[in-house]
Amino acid sequence: MSTGLQPEPSDMARRLAEAEAVIEALLAGQIDAVVDPAHSTPLLLAKAQESLRQSEERYRHIVENTNEGIWLSDSTHTTAFMNRRMAQMLRCEEDMGVGRSPLTFLDEPTKLAFAHYPERPAPYQSDVEFRRTDGTRFWGHLDVVPMFESDGCYAGTLAMVRDISERRAAELALRQTTRDLVERTNVLEMQGALLKEQAAILDLPADAIIVRTLKNQVAFWSRGARGMYGWSSAEALGRRVEELIDADCPETFEEICAALFIAGHWEGEGSHRCKDGTHIDVASRWTVQRDGTGAPVRILSISHDISARRKSEIERARLAEELKRQTAVLRETEARTTYALSAARMGVWEIDPKTRLVTWSGTMPSLYGVTAAEAPRSSDEFLQLVHPDDRVMLQNALEAAVANRTELRIEFRAIWPDGTVHWYSGLAQVIYDEGGTPVRVLGVDTEISERKSLEAQFQQSQKMEAVGQLAGGVAHDFNNLMTVVLGYSEFVIETLGVSDPRRADLDEVVRAGQRATALTRQLLAFSRKQVLQPTNVDLNALVLGMEDMLARLIGEDIIVEHTLAPDLWAVRADVGQLEQVLMNLTVNARDAMPTGGRLSFHTSNVELEEPDAHSFGIGAGCYVLLAVADNGTGMTESVRQRLFEPFFTTKLPGKGTGLGLATVYGILKQTGGTVSVTSTPGAGTTFDVYLPCVVEGDPQALVPAAPERGGTSRGHETILIVEDEDGVRLLTRRILEQSGYRVFDASDAAHAEAVFAKHAKEIDLLLTDVVMPGISGAKLFARLQEQQPGLKVLYLSGYTQGAIVEQGPLGPGIELLQKPFTAAALNERVREVIEGPTPQPAGRE
């Protein structure tokens, strides 16, 4: 303001206040003019007008230069004025808004706020978003003051607008920041909670959490570490970890750190020592904490006590090992069981009574000669394997066992696919449920064919033994009686003329006596009660020596062939018995070829080893095989099985005794050999005779087979006869005396010794029974030989059940004459012995 006056500021203020009051009064109409006395003009008015102009000017200046938008509207909401600042804010010309409603610059929501403003004019303040003329928006703080006429009528509105966009943006930013902060706070709270949880987890008593420095010193020792190792946190902090734990770990701390710093983590297990000295197994995981540069600063380890787990693992491993061992044992046991079942020819089976389905163990198919694929699936199919004659019996037995709750024990036969019949023993147990219903039948089958065969053999053996004992008991006396019959018959025949009619009758007597004697001899042979005189025999020579005799026996329709090994070993056998064997086998072959055929004798050396030898019933070793084969009628299996059974014959009644092959069997068994038979009905039969060969180094020379015996049978020497059977003794004496010998006789050994004591020098030959009351003939000879070493001996034998048999065959060089004997045979043998070498001392005393 410039008035030309230079008043004092305080005075200036006062005067301005006075002026303003005058102006106010003028404006209010309270005064009309102010007169300046110097100019007689209404100075004050001019001044007032000037002042008013200046005031307007001042206010205009203020309005135009204020930083707030000023917007005047009339009572119709029509813009009357807006200052420059407002126009700037709206980005329009100042007069552009004049005549327009301010609402055009507001958004619709803001418009609503002013919709009823004229009706209720009142001061109003609000932050309002304005819409500029270019479409952009800005926030402004709106301060609305209603204006009224002097009469109180609403005159319009003065609105002052301050651009608050920046503040608003700041507020928004602040609000966003606040929201962000809230969110971050929430996150942090969540993280905090999580951390708390993690911390709680980390601080679980079960785990030991240890933070250590790079020098392995404890920086943190968790509650779990205390619980695990026994050291408190106070005790542990600052100390080196190895002082506290002394871990049994293959890697050193430095080695672990080296791996840890590279990989960022390390895991391992080991044994840690606790404060109390005990050790625990621990699984640890180490991680490394790094600073901002990535350099390691600390090591965090979490260790878990795995002692229980390790113990469990060890126990589990032990159990696994035990299970493995038991499994192996079980398998071995199973294998053994299977092997045992197989070896024992046993099998296990099961039948479901309801479905009749059958389950077989692995050994069952071979037991019945079928493959696993051919194994029966039902009891009906199984019955098809059973021998037709045994099916009903087996089925009834099984049903009875189920019905009566009894154990099933039965023997039955089955027929293999190859047609062979096999014996079985069945043992079964029925299993019932709680209601008493049979749920299954468990059984074991054992093939007992071999046992059955052995039983049959045993029965046959017993039968033979019984027959043999009986025959032996009879034979001794019987032979004595036959000796008498035949001896006296010879006496009579010798005295009868050739044309004497009684001679024919006597021939019948002799023939019948000889046949009866032969029967008895056969009986003794198969019962192995004969006295053998084994010598080293050339079997080839024996076979060839009997060729003529056998040829006469078999007739001309049968061709005889020989295939004899040139280097055949000698056999140890009784020549006479071998002749009997050959003759019986030849007769048997002849009878098998009624219309002729081919009979072959084959010899060879064989060495039998186990189990072949065992299967033949003889020991392993060297044998000579004599095979006697024919191409006759052959025989069935059932006949073959009974072939050597005494009194078994396929011949018509009266045509055979059934002792021929039994005799062969008995002789060979007594000799130490055996015989086996193979036969095919319609194709022929082969008897394989095995005879023990001579042991190398045996000093005995081979005895010529079928030695020729002959020469004069008369003599003059002195003979001592010792025989307890009067008839035989007297007959013998009579024969010998008739042949020119001088004879002493005695009925027992004591009497004989008495006679010998008197005539020892005179007696050349002792002719004695083998078995006598008191001492045996052999012992008697031994005693007498001591007195006269040059004494010779010839034994007479009927039945030899006594000492001679028990002590084995008579010794080498000992001569034996079987009872009954003929006069000719007696004279011939007496002559041979007298002219033969003196026997070695028996040494049997």
Partner 1 sequence: MDNTLDHKIRNLLAIVIGYARLMEEDMAADDRHRGDLQEILAAAVAAIGLLSAAEEP
Range in contact with partner 1 (rule: CB under 8 A) among 22-30, 190-198, 470-478, 669-677: 470-478
The residue within the footprint of partner 1, chosen from 19, 256, 441, 471 (CB under 8 A), is: 471
Please identify, among the stretches 400-408, 473-481, 532-540, 582-590, the one whose residues bind partner 1 according to the rule CB under 8 A: 473-481
Compute, in degrees rounded to 10, the torsion defined by CA atoms 723, 729, 735, 736. Answer: 40
What's the min distance (Å) between Cβ of 480 and partner 1? 8
Task: Rule CB under 8 A: say whether 505 interacts with partner 1.
Answer: yes
**Token pair recorded at residue 101:** 């409603």
> By C-beta, is 354 or 511 nearer to partner 1?
511
- Residue 317 backbone dihedrals phi, psi, to 5 degrees: -65, -40
Nearest approach in angstroms of CB 796 to partner 1 is 16
Q: Does 771 bind partner 1 (CB under 8 A)?
A: no
Smallest gap from residue 745 Cβ to partner 1 (A): 16
Which CB atom, from 464 or from 719, has the smaller least distance to partner 1?
Answer: 464
Instruction: Give least dist CB 514 to partner 1, A.
Output: 9
Interacting residue with partner 1 among 31, 448, 519, 825 (CB under 8 A): 519
Among 506, 565, 583, 755, binds partner 1 (CB under 8 A): 506
Site string for partner 1, 706-735 (x = CB under 8 A): ---------------------x---x----
Least CB distance to partner 1 at residue 513 (A): 6
Q: How far apart are alpha carbons 477 and 519 in whole angstroms?
A: 14
Q: What is the 3-state secondary structure (H, E, C) of 635-659?
A: CCHHHHHCCCCCCCCCCCCCCCCCC
Cα distance between the two ends of the chain: 187
Stretch that binds partner 1, among 95-103, 135-143, 428-436, 478-486 (CB under 8 A): 478-486
Q: Tell whether residue 495 is a contact of partner 1 (CB under 8 A).
A: yes
Site for partner 1 in 188-227 (CB under 8 A): none
**Looking at 436-551, which runs of residues are DSSP E strands?**
438-447, 534-537
Q: Which residue has the tokens 């056969």?
A: 522
The distance of Cα 26 from the centroid of its chain, to the nearest Å, equals 131
Classify burial at 151, counting beta carbons within 10 Å of its beta carbon; exposed 0-12, middle 13-18, buried 19 or more.
Answer: exposed
Q: Does 489 bind partner 1 (CB under 8 A)?
A: yes
45: CB partners within 8 A, 6+ apart: 26, 32, 33, 34, 35
How far is residue 824's CA from residue 486's CA, in Å, rounded to a whole number?
11
Among 513, 632, 715, 777, binds partner 1 (CB under 8 A): 513
Among 110, 425, 657, 747, binds partner 1 (CB under 8 A): 657
Based on the shown chain and the rule CB under 8 A, indicate whether residue 372 belongs to the binding site for partner 1: no
Binding mask 610-649 for partner 1 (x = CB under 8 A): ------------------------------------xx--
The tokens of 156 are what? 């319009």
Cα 794 from Cα 777, distance rounded (Å): 10
Q: For residue 299, what are the β-bridge partners?
A: 212, 288
**Residue 510: CB minimum distance to partner 1, A:** 9
Q: Shortest gap between Cβ of 662 and partner 1 (angstroms)?
A: 10
Contacts of 719 (CB under 8 A, 6+ apart): 736, 741, 742, 743, 744, 763, 764, 765, 766, 767, 830
Number of helices (H), then strands (E), in the chain: 26, 28
DSSP structural state of residue 581: H
> Which residues partner with 125 through β-bridges?
143
**Structure tokens belonging to residue 822:** 């003929």
**What length is written for the chain?**
845
Of the pair 598, 734, the CB lying nearest partner 1 is at 734
Piece in contact with partner 1 (CB under 8 A), picked from 195-203, 207-215, 269-277, 519-527: 519-527
- List the one residue from 382, 478, 665, 781 that touches partner 1 (CB under 8 A): 478
- Regarding 587 and contact with partner 1 (CB under 8 A), the answer is no
Identified binder of partner 1 from the candidate list 164, 492, 544, 564, rule CB under 8 A: 492
- Encoded one letter per residue, x for contact with partner 1 by CB under 8 A and - for no contact, window 730-769 reads -x--------------------------------------
> Does 520 contact partner 1 by CB under 8 A?
yes
Dist CA 774 CA 754 (whole Å): 15
Under rule CB under 8 A, how many of the chain's residues touch partner 1? 37
Work out the widest C-alpha separation in the chain, in whole angstroms.
239
* Residues forming a β-bridge with 621: 608
Question: CA-CA distances (angstroms) from residue 646 to 92, 94, 464?
Answer: 153, 159, 7
> What is the Cα Rg of the chain in Å?
72
Closer CB to partner 1, residue 654 or residue 710? Answer: 654
Interface residues with partner 1 (CB under 8 A) are 467, 470-471, 473-474, 477-478, 481-482, 484-485, 488-489, 491-492, 495-496, 502, 505-506, 508-509, 511-513, 515-516, 519-520, 523, 646-647, 657-659, 727, 731
